[in-house]
Structure 1
Amino acid sequence: MKDSLPIYRLEPQDTSVKRLAMLGRQIFGLHDEFRLSETRDGKVLRNAHHLVEIANASGAVWAADESQMWRPSVSAELPGDDDALSIAKDFLHREGLLPALKAPFSYGKPVIGGTHFALRKDGKRQNRRLDVQVVYPVMVDKIPVVGGGSDLTVTLGHKGSVIGFSGGWRTVVAEFDAKMIAPDKVKEQFHGLMSQMKIESFDMSLAYYAAPSFTAQEFLYPVYVCRATAVFGKQRVPLRQVMLAATDFGPPLTFGEPQAKRPKSAKPATVSKEKAKTEAAGKLRRSFAAATVTRPWEAGTSWIGQSGGLAGSQANAQGFVDEWAAAGWHIDFNWGDANAWESDWRRNDDTWVDNADFVFYTGHANMNGWVLSKPDDGFLDFAEIGAGPQTPGDLWGQSDLEWATIAACGPLQDDLLASGGGDVLARWDGAFDGMHILMGYGAITFDNTDEGRKLAQYAKGGSTIIDSWFRTAREIQPATNGAAAPDGPNVWVGAMWVGKDGVDPVNDHAWDYGSVANDPTSPTWLAAMWTTC
């Protein structure tokens, strides 16, 4: 075993407006017909449906033709995988968009992915591919780079046209060595973190961590990626992958302060008389024009952090509720670890989960459900929420819930993505008793601190709920996870929704930030969409 591993000092790419304008020309052929603006994290160029953004922290790029990317209404004639590789390679080299890497850095084998759409109507399911994606991962010698901050992705639409480009590479400016930590010590550390769970299997491998493009990063450093499966009752659950320091350079793993014990009598505060009147009248459709200064919208979060060995979950959940609180929303709940009761999602959902408009969970999950805490058995199984949409139903959306996000290792696996994933439309249809969209992953993912914050930020910026979630996942998770089917090897982010004639939540925006569909009660069809991270 080596005694040391190299650490690399980094600098961001050019983040100037001049480079942004040049990227608009290179990617979409835009010239002077655009407008410039700034967000909290970057500089933005927009021309009608074309968006190009540079991240201030890294110089990485996000570019999308928003009329084409992640749009089930678009019918595209797509290139095959081999042609897509050739088109993407020619595009990157012609436009000079593939950063030149010097040894020991190189590009790994491209990953072919894309966006898939599934629709079930009248008892029949149809699957359709919406785009093709070519992802270029980065390697350090033979060690992969993970973390979402290095992959370059080209998205191809109708007849091979470029409809998306994302990624970047921070420039390496210096190198030094750090003493390597022995694998047996890391294994001992991992099992200490997971001591509250029944671990069934474990393995780990080396990687380098590249932070998401919107995050400042001074050093590229090695980590051990730790993978494990735990048993919760009758469920085998693949855990979110945890990264532990591979050298004494660090960084150390830190957890937030534990929450005080939750009072049994706790209930969310009443937010406004206007909301009560709205719900009493059947929760009429609300729109940006109808919003008032009281903003009677609500958010909440449940999370498994220290009890599940996840150092990122608490900050991940806090970022979500902080963003909505800053927008004037009421925060109904923020329950973590032993306070994140399963009963909030089922027996007492009218008081908690279904009392909020937007709910975010982060922790551990599989395709069948996600881990919560007692009372009850501590695992919310799809079989516990009903066999299908009911009218009137008694779970999610019957009262108030529009959107739920499960930031974990599921629950949207499907045979369309990998063998053994089952049929997500049959498995989770019982969740929709008026709820609009269920979002999550269809593969094993990495623990992190940023999903909740970025999801809310993009939604507050005017993107649709699904676009906000898909972009968040693309920027944070790597394209592959090293796992076998049905939980890998590609990392899929997904969304499932239901509708009927005249009601389709696919283009829902957050309240106050765009249009929202009527509640899809008595739905006549179910749909799902996934894209590779």
Structure 2
Amino acid sequence: MKLKPKHLVLFLILTALVVFPLLKTHSPAGIPVMSPIGLVELKTTFPKAPERMPVYRVVGGEIIETISNSSPEYWKVRKNLPSEEEAVEIALKALERYGGVPEDAVLRGVRAEYVSYMDSSAGEVGREPTLVVVSFKREINGFPVVGPGGEITVFIGENGTVVDLVKIWRKLEYTKDVRIISPQKAYELLQNGDVLRKPMGKLDLEVVKIEPGYYAGGIGERQDYYYPVWIFHCRDGFGKNITLAVSALAEVVGG
């Protein structure tokens, strides 16, 4: 059926009313938005935000501790691995020679790592244990720290042998409080792809939790200050947890 001119105009107007809202750069909860980092959808509510948060200066440089091992063989199949309780005790003992566990460190969790293989004769996919990993995360006055420099990781193998240990910890000193942006504004920045550490490739992300905190860079990343960030806890299309951070500064802060 051929539309008359006046009907065609009405059709175009109605189409615009339906389509244009879907093309908005920013969206409320429940409406996915395509961003430079992938498809982003808000699946949680915005938390109550503090008006100001502290800034901390790094003093004395960064502390990086690691066991010197050129080939830890993370994917080697290992037997007789410790239980979760035993692994925590082994990790605490191993950290004693590196100054122990800092006061602002919190046990993040214990997990077993596995290596997968294909049994060509049986046509089945199997997996074998390789390591038990104990990790500690950092909290600064109750605020979580994310990023590669905000944790301690101990890799434990057969018979309680510590295969590797990575500790990146910076001593901090309070400097001042600064104003921060709202979580709504931070979500807009996330949709624009303005994150501190961009993921590899584009992802389908569901934001399941938002909270204020701090970001810590990894080995080789110079960091003189810890500034507030908004932390977005996400799940990707495969159910994997992804954490992204957006600067929370509402004002220009001098070094």
Give the TM-score, by structure 2 length. Answer: 0.64
Task: Give unmatched runs, 5+ long, in structure 2.
Answer: 1-48, 195-202
Q: Is the 8 A contact 1:114 1:130 kept in 2?
A: yes
Match for residue 116 of structure 1 among 114, 117, 141? 114
CA distance in 1, matches of 2:214, 2:127: 36
Other structure's SS at 2:93 match: helix
Matched, 1:223 2:229: yes
Deviations 1:183-227 (A, max 9, x none): 222233334559xx9987675222210011211100012211235
Which residue in the other structure is 2:84 paired with? Answer: 81
Which residue in the other structure is 1:20 paired with? Answer: none
Other structure's SS at 2:63 match: coil
CA distance in 1, matches of 2:238, 2:75: 34
Q: Is the 8 A contact 2:78 2:131 kept in 1?
A: no
Compute the displacement of 1:68 (Å): 4.5
Change (3 A) 1:65 1:220: same
Which residue in the other structure is 2:212 paired with? Answer: 206
Change (3 A) 1:86 1:182: same
CA distance in 1, matches of 2:213, 2:74: 30
Q: Is the 8 A contact 1:69 1:131 kept in 2?
A: no
CA distance in 1, matches of 2:172, 2:119: 52
Residue identity over aligned pairs, in percent, reads: 21
Q: Relative contact order, CA 8 A, sep 6+: which one is greater?
A: 2
Compute the displacement of 1:156 (Å): 1.2
| Aligned residue type for 1:247 | L
CA distance in 2, matches of 1:137, 1:118: 28
| Aligned residue type for 1:248 | A
Query: How is 1:23-172 mapped onto 2 (pairs within 5 angstroms)?
Result: 58-72=62-76, 74-93=77-96, 95-98=97-100, 100-101=102-103, 106-122=104-120, 123-172=123-172
Query: How is 1:336-355 mapped onto 2 (pairs within 5 angstroms)?
Result: none
Compute the displacement of 1:179 (Å): 0.8
Deviations 1:78-119 (A, max 9, x none): 1111111111112223x2432543xxxx22233112431111
Query: How is 1:499-514 mapped onto 2 (pairs within 5 angstroms)?
Result: none
Q: Is the 8 A contact 2:132 2:157 kept in 1?
A: yes
Which residue in the other structure is 1:5 paired with? Answer: 53
Moved over 4 A (4+): 197-203, 227-230, 235-241
Other structure's SS at 1:90 match: helix
CA distance in 2, matches of 1:96, 1:190: 37
Change (3 A) 1:157 1:228: closer
Deviations 1:399-430 (A, max 9, x none): xxxxxxxxxxxxxxxxxxxxxxxxxxxxxxxx
CA distance in 2, matches of 1:166, 1:116: 20
Other structure's SS at 1:168 match: strand
CA distance in 2, matches of 1:71, 1:244: 33
CA distance in 2, matches of 1:75, 1:240: 28
Aligned-CA RMSD value: 3.2
Matched, 1:175 2:175: yes
CA distance in 2, matches of 1:226, 1:140: 18
| Pairs aligned (count) | 195
